[in-house]
Chain A
Amino acid sequence: MKLWYFTEQQYHPAWDLSDGPIRNIPPSSLIDRDVCADLFDRYYEEFAWMEELGIDIAVNEHHSTFQSMVPTTFLHVAALARVTKKSRLLSLGSPLGQRPDPLRLAEEIGVADMMSRGRIEVGFIKSVPWEYFNSNANPARLMDRFWEANDFVIKALSTRDGPFSWHGEYFDYRNVNIIPPPYQQPHPPMWMTGQSTGSAKAIAQRRYVAVCVMSGPHVAGPFFSAYREQYEKTHGAAPSLDRLAYSSYLAVGNNEDEARIRAQRVHKWVEMLSSQHLGFQHAAGYATPTDFARMLTAGKLGHAGAATPTIDELRAKHTMFWGTPDQVVDQIKNFYRAVGGFGQLLTQMGGYATKADTFDSMKLMVKEVLPQLQDLHRTL
C-alpha cells in the first residue's frame, strides 16, 4: 500500500469569523496576513516531515474559499519540487473544465516535472459546482470540454518533435510546443477522480489511476469494480492494484482517547463542508439535466443539507479512518476487502488538527499501520 499525505492547506482561523458561508462570498479581509503566512510555514514544515517519514505528498486546489489556500496546484507542486528531494508530488488536481487555457496547464506541468526530476504525478478533476461561479467557465458541455482538454494536454506533454497545431471544438492553438517538456517520458503518471461507474470506465480506458474520494465502500466498490472490468476489456490484462486509489480522512493516536480528540479536530472541517450560500449550490450544466432534476425532486437542493455525520458515523462509513494504529489497520483492512482491493491511500487531516497531531498521526501511520498493510493483497 502506497501512502500519500494530502492537505488542502486550509485557512481554518476564519471559519468561526465568517457569519455566513466560508465559500464564494466571505471577504478576504477575514484573513490575517501574518497568521496566513505562518500557516504556510507550518504546512511546509509538515511537508518536510512527510518526506522524512518517506511519505509522498498530494495537494489540491480550490477557489475563493477558506477551505484551501491553493488556487492552482502547480504553484505548490513547483515549490515542493525545490524543498523536497525524494517524495513524489501529486497534483490532485487540475479542474480541466474550468481552466480556460490547457496550454498553460501543460506548460506548468512541464516545468514542475523538470524541476523535480520526474517526481510529479498529475490528476485531473471535474471540480465542484460552486467554483464555476468563480472561474466563470461555462458549466454547460463541461465534460466535452474536459475530455478535449485532457486529450490536448496529453498530446502537448508527449510531443517532442516540434510544434503541432490543434483546432478542436473548444480549444484552438496554432503552435503548441511545450518547453521545457516534462522530465518523465512521454508524460507523468496520470490520475483522475470519479464516483460513478461511467467515469471509472472512462478512466480505465486511459490507464489513469482512478481515485475515489471519501465515498465509502458502497460507492468505491462498484467504482473499482467497473474500472477493473473496463481495464481488462480495453487493455487485455487486469490492472495492477496501484491503478486504484482511495482518499479518506485520518486521525491516529497512541490510545483511543487521543485518537478521538484528533479525529474531532479533523472533523471540524467536515462540519464546514456544507457551509454554502444556497445561490452557489448548483450550477446548471454541471450535472446532466436528468441528474439535476433527480436532485431537485429528491429535495436535495435548496437547503443546507443533512446534519454532519459524527466521527463514529464517519468511521463506520469508512470515510474517516481513526483510532489507535491497530484499530486503523482493522478499518483499512475491512474497507480493502469490501472494495476488492486498491493500491494507494491518500490520507487527509486538516480542520483544527494541530501540527503535532499531524506529525504524530502520520508517524504512527508509517511506523505502525503501514507495515501491517503490506501483504493485504494476499487477503483478496
Chain B
Amino acid sequence: MTMLRFLLSACLLLFFTLSAKAADTLTVGAIYVGSTNDFGYNRSMHDGLLAMKAAIPGLTLLEAENVPETADSERIMEGMIQQGAKLIFATSFGHQDFAFNLAQKHPDVFFEHAGGWKMAANFGNFFGATQSAWYPMGVAAGKMTKSNTLGFVAGVPIGFVIGNIDAFAMGARSVNPKVQVRVVVTGSWSDKAKEAAATTALIDQGADVVTMHVDSPATVIQTAEGKGVYSIGFQSIEARTLAPKYWITGLGFTWGPFMTDIAKSVIAGSFKPAFVRLGLGQGMMAIAPFGPAVPADVQTAVNAAADKVAGGFNPFTGPLTDNTGVVKLKEGETLGGDKMGDLDWYVEGVIGKAK
C-alpha cells in the first residue's frame, strides 16, 4: 500500500514537473478533419502549422488527424488542453460549435477556427478569400487551352464554390473570350470514383484544362495527367508533384504567416479575436509554381492578374450578367466577403445551371 502511494506521488510529481516545463513555452493544439497527406486542404493546414512551429523556437505542436465534426472533436481538443495547449486551431468548418463550447469553458485558452463566423474574446475566425484568387487561375487556363473548353469538377454547389467557378470563368474570358467552362458537380466533397468519372466526362467533352474544388485535388489531377490533359490545382500548392508533365499552376492556402502571428500574440498576451479573410498578396493564398509546359508569356499574364487581385481588384464588380443574360450586378455594385455564400448563379461562359 505504501509502495502504491509512493508510486502515485512520484507520478504526480513527475507530471507537475513536466507540465511546469511545458508552461515555459507555448503548446499549440491542431485538429484536422482528414489526413494531413491528402495533398489538399488538410495538408495546407498542416504545412501552415509546421511553418509556425519552425518560426517560434521551443513551441510544442499537438496534432490530431481524422477528427470527425462531432462531439468527439470536443473531447480531443479537451485532451490537448489537459496536455497544456493554450492555443487551439480547429481547422474544419464543422468543428466550430465544439471549439466554441470549449472556448466558453476555458477562458484562458485561445481558439482559432477556419471558415466559420463565431467570435468571442478568446475565439477568432480565419479563412482565405478564395474567389478573387481564382481569377488568375482562369487567366492561366484561358491562355493554355486550345479547345476553348475548360472543365471544372465541383464537390457541393454552395455559394463559395460557385463563386470560385465564376471568378475562374471571368479570368479565362478576360484573356480568351471564346472560352467556355463546363461544370460537373459530384455532390460530395470526397468521392474519388465520381471525381475520376467526372474528369473523364469533361475531357470527353473536349476540355483540355481541368480543375476542381473538392477536398483533395489528387484524383482529378492524376486522371488528367494520365490522359495528357492540363490541370490546375486547388487547396495545397504541393499537389503539383502529382502531375509532373501537365501541371499548369494551382491555388493554395498559405496559413503559416497568420498562424505564426497568432501564436506570437498568445505568447505576448496580446491576442485579439478577429474575423480574418485574406486573399492573394495578403498572406493566406498563394499561386503554385508553374509546370514545365507553361510558356513565359502565360506566366507573366498570370502573375500580372495575381498582382491586380492583390492590388484590390474584385472580379465581381458590376455590370455583370449571369449565363442566361439576366443582369445580376448593376454598374458599380460589387459582391464579396460573406455574401459569396449566397451566390447561386453562373456568369456568362459557364455552361449549366447553378441551382
Q: Do A and B come from one complex?
A: no
Interface positions of B (Cβ within 8 A of A) = none
